[in-house]
Amino acid sequence: MSLNAHRKVIATTKVFFGAAVRFEHIERDPFRHEVSTTGANRDRDFCITPDMATTIVDACPDTQWKLMFALWRFAGLRKMEIFELRWNHVLWDKGKLLVTAPKTSHHAGRGTRYVPIGAILPYLEAAFDEAAEGSERIITRYSEANSNLAKPFEQILERAGLVVWPKLFQNLRSSCETEWLDAGFPAHVVACWIGHTVRVQTDHYAQVDEHHFSAFNNRVANFGAHLAQKTPEVGRTEGNGKKRNPAKTQCFHGVSSDFVSLRESQNALERSRTSTSLTDT
C-alpha cells in the first residue's frame, strides 16, 4: 500500500472514531494524532508519447477499443466516464463532447464538462458508422457493470510491445493534459476540459520530462542563432565612428533583451498556472 493510500485509510478511520467520541461511545480517538494528509507523489509519473499512442491504437482489436483508448489518451476522460457517453452528447458542429463526471457530480456545477473532439474525431466517426440503428450509448462493448478493463488493456499493450506503466489509466489522462499544456492552451482552460482544478493539475497531473528540456534548449538555440545573424562583428564601428560594445551584442547569457522577454513570458505563464483561485476536487 502506498503512503497516500495508507493515509486515506487513516483519514477514514479518524472520521469514524471522531464520531464515536462525539456520541460518547468512547472517550478518545486513538488515531487523533496520526498523520492523514495526502501529498503529491510524482514517482509514478509516466508519459505516453504520441508515437506510443499510435502504436497502441494499431494494436487495438476493433473500433470500440480504438475509441476507448482515444477517449482516455486524446480527450482526457477518466476510466469510468466513457460509459456515460451518449451519441446525443456529441456536438459535431461545435467540435465538443459533453462528458458526465460521476466522480465530481457532488460539487456544484461539476457534474458535467465539455472536451474538444478534434483529436478523437476519426475514432468517433468510425464508431458512429458501425453503431446500430437507434443506438444511444457510444461504448457498447463493455458496460459499467462489466468494467474490468485492465486485463484486456494490458494484453493490448503486450501486443504493442510495450511495458505496462505504473498508473494504467491515470497516466493516459495526465499525458493528455500535459500535451494540451505544451500546445499552449491556458492552464485554467485545460483544467476545465480535464475536470479538476489548476492546483490538482499542478500537483498530480502536469508532467515534466526530458522532452521539455530538449524543446526549451532547441528553442533557445534557434532563438540565439537568429539573433546572432543580426549581431555585427565585435569591434566594428557604428555610423558615428564609435566601436560597438561586445556586452551589448551577446545573445544568450541573459543579456539580450529579446531573450529576457522570452524568459519573463515563460515565468509569467508558470505563475499563472499556480496563482489561479483554487478549489479542491
Q: pLDDT, tens digit, for every residue of 103-133?
A: 766 666 668 999 999 999 999 999 999 999 9
21: pLDDT confidence band, cut at 50, 70 and 90?
A: confident
Supply the pTM of this predicted model: 0.67
Residue 29 pLDDT? 85
The DSSP line for 70-93 is: HHHHTS---GGGGGG-BGGGEEGG
Task: Let me know whether 220 and 199 are in one domain.
Answer: no
Q: How many CB atoms lie within 10 A of CB 100?
A: 14
Q: Decide if pLDDT at 228 tops 60.
A: yes
Residue 189 pLDDT? 96
pLDDT digits (tens, 9 = 90+) for 176-197: 999 999 999 999 999 999 998 8
Task: Let me know whether 123 and 260 are in one domain.
Answer: no
Task: Let me know whether 106 and 192 are in one domain.
Answer: yes
Q: Is residue 7 one of the residues assigned to a domain?
A: yes
**Residue 86 φ then ψ, to 5°:** -125, 155
249: pLDDT confidence band, cut at 50, 70 and 90?
A: very low
pLDDT digits (tens, 9 = 90+) for 148-157: 899 999 999 9
What average pLDDT does the segment 9-22 reach? 82
C-alpha distances out from residue 220 to 150, 183, 231, 233, 251, Å = 42, 17, 16, 21, 10
Is-contact 189 218, C-beta < 8 A?
no
Task: Let me know whether 121 and 220 are in one domain.
Answer: no
Residue 248 pLDDT? 42
Write out the residue range of the structural domain in which residue 158 sits. Answer: 50-205
Task: Let me know whether 79 and 174 are in one domain.
Answer: yes
Gap between the Cα atoms of 182 and 49, Å rounded = 12
**Of 133 and 101, the one with more pLDDT:** 133
Tell the residue number behind the cell numbers 440503428, with chain if given: 133
Q: Is residue 55 one of the residues assigned to a domain?
A: yes
Task: Let me know whether 230 and 190 are in one domain.
Answer: no
Q: Which of 92-96, 99-103, 124-128 has the lowest mean pLDDT?
A: 99-103
Instruction: Express as a percent the part of the chain with pLDDT over 70.
Output: 74
Q: Is residue 12 one of the residues assigned to a domain?
A: yes
Q: Is residue 192 one of the residues assigned to a domain?
A: yes
Residue 203 pLDDT? 80
Is-contact 115 90, C-beta < 8 A?
no
Task: Let me know whether 7 and 70 are in one domain.
Answer: no
Task: Let me know whether 54 and 193 are in one domain.
Answer: yes
Q: Is residue 211 one of the residues assigned to a domain?
A: no
Task: Let me know whether 125 and 162 are in one domain.
Answer: yes
Q: Is residue 104 one of the residues assigned to a domain?
A: yes
Task: Let me know whether 87 and 24 are in one domain.
Answer: no
Q: Is residue 139 one of the residues assigned to a domain?
A: yes
Structural domains in the chain (count): 3
CATH number at residue 58: 1.10.443.10
**Residue 251 φ then ψ, to 5°:** -125, 15
Task: Let me know whether 137 and 164 are in one domain.
Answer: yes
Q: Decide if pLDDT at 77 tops 90.
A: yes
Q: Is residue 280 one of the residues assigned to a domain?
A: no
C-alpha distances out from residue 158 to 69, 149, 171, Å = 15, 14, 17
Task: Let me know whether 26 and 75 are in one domain.
Answer: no
